[in-house]
Amino acid sequence: MNNVGVFVCTGCDIGAAVPLENLEKVAGGLGVATFQSHENLCSPEGVAVIRGAVEDGSVDGVVIAACSHRAKIEEFRFDPTKVHTQRVCLREQVAWTQPHGHEDTILLAEDLLRMGVAQSQKYTTPGRLGEDVDRTVMVVGGGLAGLKAAQAAAGMGNPVLLVEASSQLGGYVAGLKDLVPEVPPYDRLHENDMAALVAAVEADPDITVRTSSSTRNIDGQPGQFDVELVGPDGTENIKVGAIVQATGARPYTADKLGHLGYGLSANVVTTQDLELMLGSGELKCPGDGKTPERVLFIQCAGSRDADHLKYCSSECCSASLRQVASIHRDHPGVETAVVYRDLRTPGQLEHFYQGVQELPGSLFTRGEVAGVEKANGRLTVNVTGSLLGDDISVDADLVVLATGMVPNAADGEAIRELRDARGRIERKESESQVAAATAVVADLESHDGTQILNLNYRQGPDLPVLDYNFNDSHFICFPYETRRTGIYAAGAMRAPMEPAQAAEDGLGAAMKAVQCLEMAARGEAVHPRAGDISVPEFALQRCTQCKRCTEECPFGTLNEDTDGTPKYNELRCRRCGICLGSCPERIISFPDYSVGGVAAAIKSIEVPDEEDEKPRVLAFMCENDALPAFDEAAKRGFQLPPWVRIIPVRCLGAVNIVWIADSLSSGIDGIMLMGCKKGDDYQCHYIRGSELADRRMTNVQETMDRLTLESERVKIHEVARNDYARIPEMFEEFMETIEEVGPNPYKGF
Amino acid sequence: MNNSAPLMVVGAGISGVTAALEAAEAGREVILVERDPSIGGRVLRSHNYFPKLCPPSCGMELNTRRVERNPRVRVLTGTTVAAATRDGEGWNVTLKTAPAYVNDRCTVCNECAKACPATVPDPFNLGLAEVPAIRLPHLDAWPQRYTLDRDACGSGCTACVDACEFGAIDLDAKETEETVAVSAVVVATGWRPYPLEKLDDLGGGVLPDVISNVMMERLVAPAGPTGGEIKRPSDGAVPKRVAFVQCAGSRDVNHLPYCSAICCLASMKQAMYVKERLPETAVTIYYIDRRTPGRNEEMLNRVDELDGVELVKGKVGKVERGAGGALKLRVEDVESGRLLEAETDLVVLATGMVSNLDTGDTPFAVHTDDDGFGLDDNAAKLFVAGVARRPEDVAASVRDATGAAAKACVAATGRTQ
């Protein structure tokens, strides 16, 4: 910005900590347009001072030197398309954590102000995107979750295209004789009303149904997807705005369950086999055609098993209870037995369990199934660890394996890796490259032909998965936030769940799809930087086609031209800045967050000479977790070493290593990178930011070792949002390290 | 989406905040009403979520930013619904907002709290600590504004007013009332723990070293009443043995007939807290069924692998004072009828969840089932989300709330289904 105004608050002890004249002098030397102070800047009177300068056009950049970046956000909000607002934290980072009036306190405050002004002078204001947005929601999968999603999206006023691979709607639930109870008193079977739901969807004028169809290719971005749909009548090209994927789950392969008797006798069947019998009204043992005297259910058939599915499939306990209840209602005289490890009927399903337990002739036995044998024309199920502590055997005529569920999802990233490896082999790259690629192919070959959506994305044709092939998301707080903007997962492909849950999941995913379209139409980013209107610019004339940005974006934002130049899709972008962190040529910049902006801030720090014995440490802090944790530590009275200068960042993944190099070459003694947990239980809101930062810093440390610069000077700290109590020791330990390694030898150069 | 009267969301816990934000980001005007002085509800009282053992304040931080940035969400804290009537296509709702003794000029500088001579039991820490009558409700509180427990003020005391440099305190502030027209309503009024006192057979409310799972969450929080240390309330001793009693009040016809859905996982998480802080302490979890559905199964596997954690199938029928400050447990294996006895130092009752709609007396006349959980009323454009609707964990509440937002948006759009 050309005309930066500095507005200093002297309230909350800031005035007592730092003499205003020192700040004024610093600002005066930086060519700012105005310097004003107020004893209570966040009050309506204080805000009026800033607003006045904005409105009379004397400033286009506002540096607010007051409280934390996270405080008084609403008070200090100005039109982002007209004014750039830069926060400088003199309260939590100075007044609350430093001795008031001390020389080092003043030096710290002066540096923070310089850093804020330097950034503000580098930044510009973003314009608002004005993209055309098609508000059609495409739902892929016509089972319960997909039908509910289609209805909800249509209900919110959006045209819907419902695509189903099979010849009819209804999916898995359509084949069920009954449903588990969904209405009070929750203790008896519920009529399966799928036929009515299918009829309603088919009759809905806003829902276009395409059965026996699938997507062959999907190009574009939210609001502007081009879908190539293949169906019985050929190919259609359709524009849609957002996508709900509700492709469901399939039963775990019973062939792998020989240890539970599958294959031993035709009278060992699966849940699905029994469902067909219940639906037909004929309950007969397939082996001999006789009506069974007792039907025995083996729970967790393939689930909760290190050799099969490690997770609990969630539905099987209630599914077996449902079948038990059906048998007792429709086939009186047939006994049932359920062998379970833990009977899982969470919540009000407990009423159903109680109701079924009370049915005469229904037995429930806890234990592990040791084996199934044929004996005297019947089947004997041997159970260990029963409630009585003994090994017992239960005879039955029909044994039902409650098989778990496997998501109908494809691992988009694995498919892409497989394709890349094949490409390397085809291109006959170096021998070692081909050997490595061959190993990748051998490892990932099983993904061949599994693709579902067929996205034409650099990072693969389907949603990335987290574990067990369920899609990747922050599944506790933000379960619908997939890693492909505008594409939302619903139902049993997202997590193991029962039909009632899948139905609701469809509604939630539809909500997100419609929301994404509305935000795209307003030119706003979706979660986590919801409402952000700035987008990065790529100075492509300097691009070296290294492909780091296209490979590292956690959200698949970037495609590549044939020569490897990134092709940016602004409506897929979440504005995290990880691409900016990845780029060795520094060609990616947001108007309000850039390599140049932060580099200018680093350069503005006054680094004392070695003999002053005043070390300087930079702390890059994730603004969502580390910075709040720091603020809370400050609130609790922690004393921050006066040597530390904090730079809040969007994500540790949005830290460009040139900032580390700049810092070290300007004499900064140490650099702390404080971000979120990485790995399987990652907490990074941008999924891969912490992991990428870690990888990049390992490279930095190797370089430092080569330059005989102590690699301990750069350290990543994992900080959780509630780690406020650990913050002081992190700084203490790091300062000890810096003291041990001594001053940066580049100081003064 | 077309524009009609705003939606109303009642309750700003994780479910209400989610429902409000999902609708508002989709373009709807939303009024979010919260009884407490800050948003976040019960989740912020938990130290970590299962199964990732990550802090609730992390997701809430993002949600708070979403609220702040979104001009369509109007948040009314300290506010309750006084009356609600159906009016044509929507509702007319009368809201009462508690006196704003501390207003928006508050900067959370803490000078008032330092000056305040009165203390009260800290509601955020379930009364386990004393706090000044004027205070930030808790470390993560949003709005970042102090709150005053006016009833605790000494007669004529103006210490806080005198200490405030910013003129943010008005001891004469009055309750305000307004009536708003809304198109549809999401009720997300949450839950409360089943009262310990009703579990006196298990020592609840009788023996000081019998605590609830929600209390345990506060004991491990660094900003909690013990500074994050697990100690026995009776004597401050570090427990060498901790017993978790599952289904304390749940799956029990004399108490809550339903399963509260979260207690197994909460106790497993808390067993991990204990082992992390007190590796030598022996932990026993007494359960009927270990209910860890879906990928939560990992929690069971992780706890199973911990040294010094034992999972015992059995229903604890009685907790009594034992010898030398210990507690004695009588455990019944319900189906075999066998009785076990065990000793421990600290008992954590995995108390269940009771819907805050269970009194049946709400301004919106929400229909409830026999368990007190709320039911959607499509015709009235009245939807229930979160644990007010059924016992469920945070992930399910968020799903539920997003779905409720969709239902409310559909209802407000007026398209019949």
- Name the DSSP letter for residue A447: G
**pLDDT single digits (tens) B29-61:** 999 999 999 999 999 999 999 999 999 999 999
Q: Is B297 on the interface with A (CB under 8 A)?
A: yes
Q: Is B226 on the interface with A (CB under 8 A)?
A: no
- pLDDT at res. B4: 77
- Tell me how close the Cα of B326 comes to any Cα of chain A, in angstroms: 29
CA A405 vs CA A194, A315, B126, B290, B309: distances in Å: 20, 8, 41, 20, 30
Q: H or E segment at A662?
A: helix A657-665
- Tell me how close the Cα of B357 comes to any Cα of chain A, in angstroms: 16
> Mean per-residue pLDDT for A469-480?
94
Per-state percent for chain A, helix, strand, coil, to nearest 5: 35, 20, 45
- pLDDT at res. B333: 75
What do you get for the CA distance between the two ends of chain B, in Å?
A: 16
- Residues A511, B59: C-beta atoms closer than 8 Å: no
> Mean per-residue pLDDT for B266-274?
98
The partner residues of B80 in beta bridges, in order of sequence, read B96
A739, pLDDT greater than 80: yes
Q: Is B376 on the interface with A (CB under 8 A)?
A: no
- Residues B165, A721: C-beta atoms closer than 8 Å: no
- pLDDT at res. A705: 87
Contact list, B297 vs chain A (CB under 8 Å): 304, 310-312
- Closest C-alpha to A518, from B400, B409, B74, B13: B409
Q: Residue B51, preceding bond cis, omega within 30 degrees? A: yes
Which of B289, B338, B353 to probe the A interface (max A CBs under 10 A)? B289
Domains of chain A: 1-125 (3.40.50), 137-248+451-521 (3.50.50.60), 251-407 (3.50.50.60)
**pLDDT single digits (tens) A138-155:** 999 999 999 999 999 999
Number of Cβ atoms within 10 Å of the Cβ of A25: 12
- pLDDT at res. A707: 84
Contact list, A720 vs chain B (CB under 8 Å): 54-55, 58
- pLDDT at res. B300: 98
Residue of A nearest to B59 (CA): A477
* Residue located via tokens 């305000």: B176
- pLDDT at res. B335: 63
- Tokens representing A23 are 């700040």
As a whole-number percent, the residues of chain B with pLDDT over 90 amount to 94
- Residues B140, A632: C-beta atoms closer than 8 Å: yes
- Closest C-alpha to A490, from B7, B406, B411: B406
- Tokens representing A365 are 């036995």
Prediction ipTM score: 0.97
Question: In this structure, is the dihedral angle defined by the CA atoms of residues A170, A176, A178 and A183, taken in order, positive or negative?
Answer: negative
- pLDDT at res. A611: 87
HEC per residue, A19-69: CHHHHHHHHHCCCCCEEEEECCCCCHHHHHHHHHHHHCCCCCEEEEEECCC
CA B239 vs CA A154, A736, B282: distances in Å: 57, 35, 9
Query: Could you please report the per-residue DSSP string of B368-382?
Result: B-TTS-B--BTTTTE
B3, pLDDT greater than 60: no
**pLDDT single digits (tens) A704-719:** 988 889 999 999 999 9
- Tokens representing A249 are 């789950």
A161, pLDDT greater than 60: yes
- Name the DSSP letter for residue A220: E
> Mean per-residue pLDDT for A38-60?
97
Phi and psi angles of residue B35, each rounded to the nearest 5 degrees, phi first: -70, -40
- pLDDT at res. B234: 96
SS3 for B140?
coil
Q: Residue A528, preceding bond cis, omega within 30 degrees? A: yes
A387, pLDDT greater than 70: no
Residue A628 CA to residue A724 CA, distance in Å, equals: 8
Which of A348, A493, A682, A729 to probe the B interface (max B CBs under 10 A)? A348
> Mean per-residue pLDDT for A213-240?
98
B183, pLDDT greater than 80: yes
Give yes or no for a contact between A66 and A87, defined as CB atoms under 8 angstroms apart: yes
> Mean per-residue pLDDT for A347-371?
96
Residue B402 CA to residue B388 CA, distance in Å, equals: 15
**pLDDT single digits (tens) A562-602:** 999 999 999 999 999 999 999 999 999 999 999 999 999 99
A727, pLDDT greater than 70: yes
- pLDDT at res. A729: 96
Residue A741 CA to residue B15 CA, distance in Å, equals: 50
**pLDDT single digits (tens) B64-114:** 999 999 999 999 999 999 999 999 889 999 999 999 999 999 999 999 999
Contact list, A75 vs chain B (CB under 8 Å): 104
> Mean per-residue pLDDT for A328-341?
97
Give yes or no for a contact between A494 and A508, defined as CB atoms under 8 angstroms apart: no
Window 24-83 of B: residues touching A by CB (8 A cutoff) are 25-27, 47-49, 52-55, 57-59, 61-63, 65-66, 68-70
- pLDDT at res. A749: 66
**pLDDT single digits (tens) B127-162:** 999 999 999 999 999 999 999 999 999 999 999 999
List CB contacts of A504: < 8 A, sequence separation 6 or more: A148, B399, B400, B403
Residue A4 CA to residue A35 CA, distance in Å, equals: 9
Residue A102 CA to residue A86 CA, distance in Å, equals: 26
**pLDDT single digits (tens) A520-571:** 999 999 999 999 999 999 999 999 999 999 999 999 999 999 999 999 999 9
B1, pLDDT greater than 60: no
Chains A, B: CB contacts within 8 A come to 255
As a whole-number percent, the residues of chain A with pLDDT over 90 amount to 96
- Closest C-alpha to A552, from A612, A496, A483, A620: A483
Window 160-199 of B: residues touching A by CB (8 A cutoff) are 165-167
Domains of chain B: 7-98+175-190+356-413 (3.50.50.60), 195-353 (3.50.50.60)
> Mean per-residue pLDDT for A325-337?
97
- The single-letter code of the amino acid at B52 is K
- Closest C-alpha to A529, from A559, A573, A487: A573
Give yes or no for a contact between A122 and A104, defined as CB atoms under 8 angstroms apart: no
- Residues B61, A389: C-beta atoms closer than 8 Å: no
Contact list, A389 vs chain B (CB under 8 Å): 336
